[in-house]
Amino acid sequence: METDTLYPTTEALSGKALFEKIRGDFIGLDTEYTLATGETTRRIYLDSTASTLMMGAAHRASIEFLKHYANTHSEMHFSAKIATKTYGWIHRRILEFVKADPDEYTCYFTGSGTTSGMNRVARTFNTLRPERDIVLVSIMEHHSNDLPHRKHGGKVMHIPVDTHESTMGCVDLDLMEKYLQEFEGRVNYVSVTGISNVTGIINPINQVAELAHRYGAYVVVDAAQLVAHVPIQMSGLENSEMDIDALVFSGHKTYAPGSPGVVIARKSFLSVIEPDEVGGGMVDRVFPENYFVTKKFPDREEAGTPNILGAINLGAAIHILDLIGMDFVLEEDMEITNYCLKQMLERDEVVIYGETCTDTCPRAGTISFNIKQMNHGLVAAILNDYYNIAVRNECFCAHPYVEKMLELTHSEQIEEAKEKVHQIAWHTEPWMGMVRVSFGMYNTHEEVDLFINALNDIVDNREKYEKLYTINIHGDYMHKHFSFSSKDYFSLTETIKQEIL
């Protein structure tokens, strides 16, 4: 990698010292709201699996860049040279971050997250080997790593997860091999998530690759959750069969909200087919009757003016994560996840979904649960209204996986729902779902303690809280006496007014 003067690394901190410095430097860590109790407290953000907060240093780097902002398709003026050089550097830096050999792989940006990239990859692989009509995914996938393959990839089959004596763990490699054997020659690719967005369970992606390659299938990794939590090695392993063919992730889950989705894929795949998207910037020459696509990567995959500013944020965040070292990030992540999990397991009234023995089945960053006899929406509302703890609830865009795990606690309701209507909307059944707490590098043990304290209070005072809420027609729990108005905290027009006064 060429040295880059915009981001000097020689005297920068690294490892633990940098982690400690960076973790307190995120925008929104001191945001306050007034609660149902009348108190005003600091928000505790436990929803990083949905979107992470913005890394302050990355944001400041992008503000600095704005002085030189220009379109990367312009070439001759000074700012365009700076923009183009920096934008190119980010692509190379990301390849380095996921250990993808730049001679073999390219990195390109698309859309605003993983979803767009996954649709692109599904179309690419289908165009590449149309004669192979099957795609294997696991049952634990986010819809973004399922529906694009159903629509563009072929016939999708869902591999069950390892049952670990009835709790659900990571993808079951033995069962996956059975599918690969049975449909040998027909499976085009296997696409699995690196980390489940529901349970935080980590899949052995390089072993999945080794297995899939043994049967001639390619391997795609949904790294939406993986990238900010676990070190990734796409290539250069001792056994090259363990290399990953394509990997997709979201910048907004990697401490850079507003940044693009990222695809890293083998150039050999992309160079033999016409790029999926066409337009400016990806052609060498255009005539009224035909056009010639450039052979240059990533240009040929990035039609149109890219999200340059978002890419700058992302490149800066990735660079900082790499300077800290992802081994260290993972260690911290597992430590705080286990710290929380252990305390949650102490309450019999709390059901945690997925395998909870993290020695046999490691997890990072995410825990989904329910409190027995309480609906997930009510728990999430109380955590918010009384404790200023931001969590996600419902089904996390992973209906098949969530439904499978809810069998553990809600088998009767599931059976009844099946009989009622076929196409039932999930939010109309208030029991359908879970509560999810998730961690980013800014979360502290003190915040986990506050969450555990809140959880214990809710468990102990379930009936008191139930009386304070009603459900509206959208299935949301509403406090009977307390209401929140977003414009008390942020109004775009008011903010603009202050700016232009």
When asked if residue 153 is in the footprint of ligand PLP (CB under 6 A), the reply is: no
Give CA separation, 321 vs 58, 93, 158, 173, 234, in Å: 11, 11, 33, 30, 17
CB of residue 244 vs ligand PLP: minimum separation in angstroms?
A: 15
CB of residue 485 vs ligand PLP: minimum separation in angstroms?
A: 27
Query: Phi and psi for 85 in degrees, rounded to 5?
Result: -65, -45
Query: Which of 124, 191, 225, 438 is the binder for ligand PLP (CB under 6 A)?
Result: 225
Residue 423 three-state SS: coil
CB of residue 152 vs ligand PLP: minimum separation in angstroms?
A: 15
When asked if residue 138 is in the footprint of ligand PLP (CB under 6 A), the reply is: no
Query: Phi and psi for 160 in degrees, rounded to 5?
Result: -65, 165
For ligand PLP, which is the closer residue by CB, 85 or 143?
Answer: 143
For ligand PLP, which is the closer residue by CB, 106 or 193?
Answer: 193
Write out the E strands in 251-300. Answer: 261-266, 283-286, 291-293
Q: Closest-CB residue for ligand PLP?
A: 113
How many other β-carbons are positioned within 10 Å of the β-carbon of residue 345?
12
Query: Which of 18, 180, 224, 329 is the binder for ligand PLP (CB under 6 A)?
Result: 224
- 357 classed as catalytic: no
Query: Which of 222, 245, 301, 333 is the binder for ligand PLP (CB under 6 A)?
Result: 222
For ligand PLP, which is the closer residue by CB, 227 or 308?
Answer: 227
Query: Which of 59, 93, 142, 229 is the binder for ligand PLP (CB under 6 A)?
Result: 142
Residue 105 three-state SS: strand
How many residues touch ligand PLP (CB under 6 A)?
13
When asked if residue 250 is in the footprint of ligand PLP (CB under 6 A), the reply is: yes
H or E stretch covering 213: helix 205-214
For the segment 85-114, give every residue that binds ligand PLP (CB under 6 A): 113-114
CB of residue 252 vs ligand PLP: minimum separation in angstroms?
A: 6
Q: How many residues are recorded in the chain?
A: 501
CB of residue 122 vs ligand PLP: minimum separation in angstroms?
A: 13
- DSSP letter for 300, please: G
Binding mask 170-199 for ligand PLP (x = CB under 6 A): -----------------------x---x--
Q: Which stretch binds ligand PLP (CB under 6 A): 220-228, 281-289, 371-379, 427-435?
A: 220-228
211, 177 contact by CB (below 8 A): yes
361, 170 contact by CB (below 8 A): yes
CB of residue 319 vs ligand PLP: minimum separation in angstroms?
A: 21
Q: Which residue has the tokens 């696991």?
A: 138
Output the CA torsion 161→167→169→171 (10° steps).
0
DSSP strand pairing (32-34 vs 40-42): antiparallel
Helices (H) and strands (E) in the chain, counts: 15, 21
| Residues forming the active site | 397
Residues that bind ligand PLP (CB under 6 A): 113-115, 142, 144-145, 193, 197, 222, 224-225, 250, 252
